[in-house]
Structure 1
Amino acid sequence: MRIFRFSPWLSSFWVAILVFAILVFSTSFLHGGLLSRGDEFEFVNKVPSKGSGDPPIFAYYISGTHGDSEKIFRLLKAVYHPRNRYLLHLDAGCSSWERNKLAVSVQSERRFRAFGNVDVVGQAYAIDQIGSSALSATLHAAAILLKISMDWDWFITLSASDYPIVSQEDLLHVFTSLPRDLNFIHYTSNIEWKEYVRINQIAVDPNLYLSENTPIFYVKEIRVTPDAFKIFTGSPWVILSRHFMEYCIHGWDNLPRKLLMYFANVAFPLESYFHTLLCNSPDFQNTTINNDLRYIVWDSPPNLDSQLLNLSSHYEGMVTSGAAFARRFNEGDPILLKVDEDILRLPMDGVVLRKSCSRSLLNQSREDSCLSWNSINVVKPGPYVKKLEALVSKLVANETLRLNRCNSR
């Protein structure tokens, strides 16, 4: 596990705790992936293979704020698979204690240490989910993941309030047969009320220059709707191809930077930036699948912080929807236990084992019950894969029939 610019503002007590954890859990806290002497995994394959017919690799960015450390750790275990990469970030709303607690929790899980595929952003920086600082953090996460490895295929954004409603083996299986340039993102060019309330109104995000989480504010002046590019908007939760994320970060033409400058002063840019960039780029406008594979019950008008009201009443619809993830779950929501037991088959307080674990201790709910591993290049989906497979197949078939996908929205 890597800690990226780990915060130096630790009390002497927590320094001692972290030093102890480092000595116990691995020989290198910053460069992870090493096993302590007590770990005795038997590996068939540890490094994911990349070839024709091999499953993809997902790069997850999981973010949260004050009080989200345990939710993020639970979510991480629910979406974990040895093939994937994971980057966790707690913003400046968290104390260094909570951030360090998350790092130690990750390092204490032997599967994460064994495969070395979970990293934590150690430096706290301010974020307002309404402002451009949230977009900046997402692009920063993509840049880090690209620096760590270029082997992944899709970039998936999750918050601490999200949860999977299919297993990772199901998701990997369905995406194995898909072209790796597809981008799953909900979008529309019909911006309606957003044109005047968000697009034309100038928002200033102080989190770009202050160290503490600070609400955005608006100036009195307004600006006209752009005519150099067409605005698209939609859900902020995305599954984007690595090739497109490279374009966002490196930008071999000027469009990514131009749009980034514009959306620096737009409220809720995560609902528009990637959507607008995809649909205004000749290279990517026909790689879109107009669905983010999320099960969400939105407020009307949509609100980034909307919650699923009476989530239990949505359980059947959620499970049969074919979506890969659902939101927004509250901490301790009993429906999560039902998802763990019925869909993910998650051991109590443990990591999803599925077919990756070839030999485990019987009747054990402990996290370290797996003794050896099958090849991580072979995935075997479960019974819930059928709904996801049917949805994705239908979406891809419908979109490929369109001559220009973005212009039809």
Structure 2
Amino acid sequence: SAWMVLSRNFVEFFIQGWDNLPRILLMYYSNFISSSEFYFQTLLCNSPEFTTTVINHDLRYISWDNPPKQHPRNLASADLHNIISSKAPFARKFRVNESVLSRIDEEFLNRHGIGDENFVPGGWCSGLPMCSEVGDERRIEPGAGARRLAQLMDGLLKSDRFKSNQCR
């Protein structure tokens, strides 16, 4: 996948380059189509100090076409239960103005009629209407989505797949 979360240590490794491998791979992949889908994974799995940190999950809910499973299908309201049940913080792909996006905004992000230009309300919101003023900006309260993400990460870290080297 071209989507990933990289640790600070790994980012420092490939930027500061105490090993020559990041530069060699960068030159090698510079002429590839979709090189972003291979560069970091190849670098991670060929750097012994990082191979045990790999979790093979891109944190996205995707429903693939069937067959040949080469393209994600467009998600709709009928997919909402599966999207939420996956615990993934991201999903793809959606048509422009798909109604399921409004349902996610309203039912899960508490964005009731506040418009696309506004942010998701948080524990620091105050005032009427909601979030018209900033209250205690240090007040962070994880919501249901954060709890689902924590469950997903906990499950991934405890899985047998993570305990074995996923670079093999």
Normalising by the residue count of structure 1, what TM-score does the alignment of the two structures yield?
Answer: 0.37
Distance 1:310 1:240 in 2: 27
Q: Are 1:354 and 2:122 counterparts?
A: yes
Offset, 1:240: 1.2
SS of aligned partner of 1:289: coil
Q: Are 1:330 and 2:95 counterparts?
A: yes
Amino acid at match of 1:275: Q
* 1:238-280 alpha-carbon deviations (Å, 9 max, x no partner): 1111221222222211111111111112221121111111100
Change (3 A) 1:250 1:275: same
Q: Are 1:239 and 2:5 counterparts?
A: yes
* 1:342-369 alpha-carbon deviations (Å, 9 max, x no partner): 1111241121122022x2213x6xxxx4
Distance 1:324 1:282 in 2: 29
Distance 1:241 1:356 in 2: 28
* 1:92-140 alpha-carbon deviations (Å, 9 max, x no partner): xxxxxxxxxxxxxxxxxxxxxxxxxxxxxxxxxxxxxxxxxxxxxxxxx
Distance 1:371 1:387 in 2: 28
Change (3 A) 1:326 1:285: same
Distance 2:63 2:36 in 1: 18
Show the counterpart of 2:38: 272
Change (3 A) 1:296 1:381: same
Show the counterpart of 2:25: 259
Change (3 A) 1:272 1:302: farther
* 1:21-51 alpha-carbon deviations (Å, 9 max, x no partner): xxxxxxxxxxxxxxxxxxxxxxxxxxxxxxx
Distance 1:293 1:284 in 2: 19
Change (3 A) 1:372 1:309: closer
Show the counterpart of 1:90: none
Structure with greater helix share of residues: 2
Q: Which runs of 5+ in 2 are unaligned?
A: none
Identity %: 39
SS of aligned partner of 1:326: strand
Q: Are 1:320 and 2:88 counterparts?
A: no
Structure with greater strand share of residues: 1
2:155 to 359, 371, 394: 394
**Residues 124-143 of structure 1 mapped to structure 2, 5 A cutoff:** none
**Residues 357-368 of structure 1 mapped to structure 2, 5 A cutoff:** 357=125, 359-362=126-129
Aligned 8 A contact 1:307 1:329 in 2: no
Amino acid at match of 1:389: A
Q: Are 1:339 and 2:104 counterparts?
A: yes
Show the counterpart of 1:383: 144
Amino acid at match of 1:352: V
SS of aligned partner of 2:88: coil
Higher relative contact order (CA 8 A, sep 6+): 1
Change (3 A) 1:298 1:264: farther
Show the counterpart of 1:113: none
Distance 1:239 1:396 in 2: 14
Larger Rg: 1
Aligned 8 A contact 1:295 1:325 in 2: yes
2:134 to 366, 369, 372: 372
Show the counterpart of 1:285: 51
SS of aligned partner of 2:123: helix
Normalising by the residue count of structure 2, what TM-score does the alignment of the two structures yield?
Answer: 0.84
Aligned 8 A contact 2:76 2:99 in 1: no
Distance 2:68 2:4 in 1: 20
SS of aligned partner of 2:142: coil
Distance 2:163 2:142 in 1: 28
Q: Alpha carbon RMSD of aligned pairs, Å?
A: 2.1
Aligned 8 A contact 1:295 1:323 in 2: yes
Q: Which runs of 5+ in 1 are unaligned?
A: 1-234
